[in-house]
A = this chain, B = another copy of it.
């Protein structure tokens, strides 16, 4: 029996009265000067409770450690000291030489739990993965969801396995040498189960986010709102031994403070890193194309370690699929891929026709290791009406050539669950809101959005349907069969090559060059002694690149290319990695 008392406190600066109900007891909290309320004695571990503010309630604790009955139910205390970790001395591998695997706990396995993920860790090890990145596991409404509409930010989703399940997963990963990154959402909270307004001014009236009220990062009381999110980050890194966080949509964190929220967050994480001696990373999703996000604070940046590079994705996707709708209108040239590989941002201070404005600024003096590259992620698949993976949209050879770009580029490569075998399952947007009017609003919102792309509402899947979730679950047996297994081998080989060649991991943009032919649609990327040649044209062509005669390292091609000292004859939809020096 664990008798350690868990302290209970809550910030409610405008409340005249805060009480807590546990079982049939109602206990008053005492107000401190700073707007915080404290329970005189803590609660025992695994105790359920809920708050009442000024007589209204019951509301779950904004910092619920566990929500065993979902986001509308009571909070349950957790003794984080009780879990038996086996990862003492664990140190995460550096991101710069990492290979990241993004996964959604609910659809990664049929089990739809953290324990389900554990069963696949040996497979991920074998593939060469160094970091897994979990889509949000904060508590969200229902049992099916991407997690970006989370409300219980401090409580791992119960249907995934709750606090214990997440700890078991992290511990198991560390046991296999895999680091764990977690996607966290600090720009808004979900609509269902969101009772924060009963506690304090968490939301700003002066900005709007695309997904609801923007979070109050620079108005009155913002110091406590910032603390709420920073404490959340520190909790994941401390109590759950996570190795880093991926911060969702930082462009929606509107903050005019002299010290931006991200800078304050990164400073807090740096302090924790120094205290624990564990390397910790912060990765931003940013639509700003602003290198300041990943510039060190010493150089007046925000101090985030790395960010996703959507420009790389869009550049490659538009060429591989030929799509030109929406934001792909800004891409489609071989030049765009070349820029993405050498300059990072295709739009680094240029006019974007899609955005109808000048976008971004050039990357200068930053390592390529500060950017993640990928040809698939949850958004780029799931935000399509049909949830199509790139494999549904283009020739397999072209996709494998695109994958070669991912692992050859001077960035940190990331793949999305099942990408490595060309999974046939879609990845839909799915929800499980209890409030059917909210479900209806989501359905209608998406119908409107996709009507602009010519979709009829009846052809769209219903995000609220169980089936939409079920169809998104990976079918692992696919991986054992061709052509999937060949794709898997290709990914394994690409990862293995990257791991063994220093020039592929050095992040040196200044040592990455690209040559291409816009009409013929080939591109050659050079890094150190290695050369990647991709033929995205419609037929075999002779690509004028210098190489050693005998040095084809990796090849995706229906036929072997003919390599001459000054050219390579490469079939359409093929890629070759060759050495420019004789061994």
| Residues of A near any B CB (own CB < 8 A) | 206-208, 218-223, 251, 254, 256-259, 288-292, 295, 299-301, 349, 351, 355-361
22 contacts between A and B (CB under 8 A): A206-B207, A207-B207, A220-B355, A220-B356, A222-B357, A222-B358, A223-B351, A223-B357, A223-B358, A251-B256, A254-B254, A256-B288, A257-B358, A258-B288, A258-B291, A258-B349, A258-B360, A292-B300, A299-B299, A299-B300, A300-B300, A300-B301
Residue in B closest to A347 when the chains form the complex, CB atoms: B258
Whether B259 and A219, one on each chain, are in contact in the complex, defined by CB atoms closer than 8 angstroms, is no
Once A206-B207, A256-B288 are accepted as A-B contacts, the answer to whether A221 and B300 lie under 8 Å apart by CB is no
Whether A357 and B219, one on each chain, are in contact in the complex, defined by CB atoms closer than 8 angstroms, is yes
Whether A258 and B300, one on each chain, are in contact in the complex, defined by CB atoms closer than 8 angstroms, is no
Contacts of A299 in B (CB 8 A): 299-300
Cβ distance A215 to chain B, nearest Cβ, rounded Å? 13
Once A206-B207, A207-B206, A208-B206 are accepted as A-B contacts, the answer to whether A359 and B220 lie under 8 Å apart by CB is no
Whether B221 and A258, one on each chain, are in contact in the complex, defined by CB atoms closer than 8 angstroms, is no
Alpha-carbon separation in the docked complex, A259 to B361 (Å): 6
Alpha-carbon separation in the docked complex, A206 to B251 (Å): 13
Residue in B closest to A214 when the chains form the complex, CB atoms: B206
Alpha-carbon separation in the docked complex, A358 to B256 (Å): 12
Contacts of A218 in B (CB 8 A): 357
Alpha-carbon separation in the docked complex, A300 to B295 (Å): 9
Whether B290 and A258, one on each chain, are in contact in the complex, defined by CB atoms closer than 8 angstroms, is yes
Question: Quick one: which of A221, A223, A259 has the most chain B CB within 10 A?
Answer: A259
Contacts of A208 in B (CB 8 A): 206
Whether B361 and A258, one on each chain, are in contact in the complex, defined by CB atoms closer than 8 angstroms, is yes
Alpha-carbon separation in the docked complex, A256 to B289 (Å): 11
Cβ distance A285 to chain B, nearest Cβ, rounded Å? 15
Contacts of A349 in B (CB 8 A): 258-259
Alpha-carbon separation in the docked complex, A44 to B300 (Å): 50
Contacts of A361 in B (CB 8 A): 258-259
Once A258-B361, A300-B301, A349-B258 are accepted as A-B contacts, the answer to whether A221 and B251 lie under 8 Å apart by CB is no
- Of all A-B residue pairs in the complex, the 7 with the closest CB atoms, nearest first, are A258-B290, A300-B300, A220-B356, A258-B361, A223-B358, A222-B357, A258-B360
Alpha-carbon separation in the docked complex, A292 to B254 (Å): 17
Cβ distance A264 to chain B, nearest Cβ, rounded Å? 9
Cβ distance A381 to chain B, nearest Cβ, rounded Å? 27
Whether B289 and A258, one on each chain, are in contact in the complex, defined by CB atoms closer than 8 angstroms, is yes
Residue in B closest to A358 when the chains form the complex, CB atoms: B223
Cβ distance A425 to chain B, nearest Cβ, rounded Å? 36
Residue in B closest to A345 when the chains form the complex, CB atoms: B258
Cβ distance A108 to chain B, nearest Cβ, rounded Å? 34
Cβ distance A14 to chain B, nearest Cβ, rounded Å? 11
Alpha-carbon separation in the docked complex, A291 to B453 (Å): 46
Contacts of A358 in B (CB 8 A): 222-223, 257, 259
Question: Quick one: which of A291, A299, A358 has the most chain B CB within 10 A?
Answer: A358
